[in-house]
Amino acid sequence: MRNQMIGSILSELNGTSPDIEASAVISLDGLTIGSVLPQSLDEDKMGAMSAAMLSLGDRTADELVRGSLEQILIKGDHGYVVMTQAGKEAVVTVLAKPRAKLGLVFLDVKRAAEDIAKLLN
């Protein structure tokens, strides 16, 4: 039931913005809780990479006295990776197109992360 609700939130997130290409909810240890990904993406690899970046980002924010980590943004030639905390136990990872309107993507991801955090608690 919970996994279906998470899948529904992710499907809605992907459908909300044409700039969002894929999304997943990843536990802090790198396990995929739910995802809406194209077949070309490896769910396990996305989970492992998200967990590694989250750990590094959390340590960086702490060591550089920036407070609690809220979000990680990676920009590449082919688009963006946006990671947003979903409660204390998970992160929402989104892949966005290179010309994405980031303000709207951030807003949509934040809302989805809040909804997912409620389900996970």
Residue numbers in the chain where pLDDT is lower than 50: none
Instruction: Give the DSSP letter of residue 118.
Output: H
Strand, helix or coil for residue 115? helix
Strand partners, 84: 71, 92
Residue among 7, 48, 5 nearest 24 (CA): 7
pLDDT at 79: 97
φ/ψ region of 27 (left if φ > 0, alpha if ψ in -120 to 50, else beta) reads beta
Check which CATH number belongs to the domain holding 40 and give it: 3.30.450.30
> What is the chain's length?
121
pLDDT at 16: 87
Domain of 64 in residue numbering reads as 2-120
Strand, helix or coil for residue 1? coil
pLDDT at 97: 97
Tally of structural domains, the chain: 1
pLDDT at 35: 95
pLDDT at 17: 87
